[in-house]
Chains A and B, each alone.
Chain A
Amino acid sequence: MTKADDRTGKTEDELFARKAKVMFEQSVDSLDGQTRSRLNQSRQAALAELDSSTVSLVSPGRWTHWAPAAGVAAVAVAAVLLWSGNLTFDTGIGPIDPIESAVPGDFELLMTEESFDMLQDLDFYSWVEIDAEIDVDPGEDADVG
C-alpha cells in the first residue's frame, strides 16, 4: 500500500465514522417519550444517592466531632467533684458509711494505753466511788441524828 492509498483509506475511514456518528445521533434524537422519561427517573434515582450519602456522611461526622470533647468534659467535672467532696449520692435514707456512723469516741478510748490501766485498777476505782458517796452522806446523817 502506497502513502497515497493509506491517506485515502484514512480519509474514507473518517468519512465512514462521521456518517456513523450522524446516524447514531439521529437514532438518539428519535428516542421516544417513554424511554426519555425512564432515563429521567434513573437520573433522579442516582442523584438521590448523592443526597443520602451526604446526609449519612455529614450527620455522623458532627456527632463524632463533638462526642470525644463532651466525654472528656464530663469525666473532668466528675473528677473535680469527687476530689472536692461535693459529690454525694442521695439514696433518700442518708449517708451509709459504717466507719462514719460508728461512735468515734468509744473507738479512740479503747485504743489508748490509759484505758488498759483503768481496766487493771477496777477495784481501786470502785473503792473511790464508794468513798465519795460516804463523803457526801454525813450531812444527811447529821440531820437525822
Chain B
Amino acid sequence: MTADAATFDVSCTSTTQTGAGTLQREQTLDRFLAEVEKRALRIAVISVRDRDEALDLVQNAMIKLVQKYSDRGVDEWTPLFYRILQNGVRDWHRRQAVRNRIMVWTGRAGKDDETKDLVEAAPDPAGRTPDEQLQNIEAMESLEVSLTELPRRQREAFMLRTFEGLDVKGTAIAMGCSEGSVKTHYFRAVRALREALGEHWQ
C-alpha cells in the first residue's frame, strides 16, 4: 500500500467512525428521551397545571439538552434535563405572574383561567377497571393539589426524588442547591403532604 493510499484509508476510517459515533449518540439520546419524557410531562403538568404548556416546556428541555449537553456523559443527562425543565417551569411562573398582574390592571383577570382536564379519557392503557381508574385518578388529583400548595423548592425536591427517582446528589444538581438542602426540602415536603392528605390516603 502506498503512502497516499494509506492516508486515504485512515481518513475514510476516521470519517466512518465519526459517523457511527454520531449515530450511536443519537440512538442513545433517543432512548433516554423516550424513557424520561412521560414522567417529565406529568411533573411539568403538576407544576404548571396546563398540559399544552407542559408539553412546550418538555420539548424545550429536550432541545436544550440535545443542543448543549449531548456530549456529556449519559449518567449526567437526567439531572441536567430536569434542571433545564425546572428552570423552564420557574420562568413560566414568572411570566404568568407578570401576565396576571397585567390582566388585573386591564380588568381581564380570570376570563381565560379555566381549569383544564389534566387526565384525559379512557380506554386505560394499563387495563384497569373504571372504578380502579377513578380511585387512582382521585388519589392522584388530591396529591397534585397538595403538591401545588407546597413551597416550590419542597415540591421540586419531592417530585424529583419520589417521581423521577433521582438520588440526593442528582436532585441537588437538578435543583442547583446543596445535598443538605435537598434532604431538608424533601423531609418537609413529605411531612406536609402526609398531613394534608390525611390518614385515608396512606
Interface residues in chain A, defined as those with a beta carbon under 8 Å from any beta carbon in chain B: 12-13, 15-17, 19-21, 23-24, 26-32, 34-36, 38-39, 42-43, 45-47, 49-51, 53-54, 58
B41: chain A residues within 8 A (beta carbon):
31, 35, 39
Measured as residues with beta carbon below 8 angstroms from the partner, the interface class of chain B is 35 or more
Do the beta carbons of A16 and B190 come within 8 Å of each other?
Answer: yes
Do the beta carbons of B162 and A49 come within 8 Å of each other?
Answer: no
Q: Of B55-63, B90-98, B107-115, B173-181, which stretch is located at the interface?
A: B55-63
B125: chain A residues within 8 A (beta carbon):
29-31
Given contacts A17-B190, A28-B39, contact A45 B63 (CB under 8 A): yes
Interface-centre pick from A15, A23, A27, A29 (highest chain B CB count, 10 A): A27
Do the beta carbons of A39 and B143 come within 8 Å of each other?
Answer: no
B67 on the A face (CB < 8 A): yes
Task: List 20 other contacts, CB 8 Å, given A43-B62, A46-B63.
Answer: A13-B187, A17-B162, A17-B190, A21-B162, A21-B163, A27-B140, A30-B137, A31-B38, A32-B120, A34-B120, A39-B38, A42-B58, A45-B59, A45-B62, A45-B63, A47-B26, A47-B33, A49-B67, A50-B66, A54-B22
Min CB gap A57→B, angstroms: 10
Report the tally of A-B residue pairs with Cβ distances under 8 A: 111
Min CB gap B183→A, angstroms: 12
Interface of chain B residues 64 through 115 with chain A (CB within 8 A): 65-67, 70
Given contacts A27-B119, A42-B62, contact A50 B29 (CB under 8 A): yes
Given contacts A23-B140, A54-B22, contact A30 B63 (CB under 8 A): no
Min CB gap A10→B, angstroms: 9
Do the beta carbons of A30 and B124 come within 8 Å of each other?
Answer: yes
Min CB gap A32→B, angstroms: 4
B136: chain A residues within 8 A (beta carbon):
23, 26-27
User: How distant is the Cα of A35 from the Cα of B52 in the complex, in angstroms?
Assistant: 9
A16: chain B residues within 8 A (beta carbon):
190, 193-194, 202
13 A-B residue pairs with Cβ-Cβ distance under 8 Å, sorted by A, are: A13-B187, A13-B191, A19-B201, A21-B165, A23-B136, A24-B143, A24-B162, A26-B128, A26-B140, A30-B125, A31-B42, A42-B62, A49-B66
A54: chain B residues within 8 A (beta carbon):
22
Interface residues in chain B, defined as those with a beta carbon under 8 Å from any beta carbon in chain A: 18, 22, 25-26, 29-30, 33-34, 37-39, 41-42, 51, 55, 58-59, 62-63, 65-67, 70, 119-121, 124-126, 128, 133, 136-137, 139-140, 143, 161-163, 165, 187, 190-191, 193-194, 201-202
B187: chain A residues within 8 A (beta carbon):
13
User: How distant is the Cα of A30 from the Cα of B143 in the complex, in angstroms?
Assistant: 16
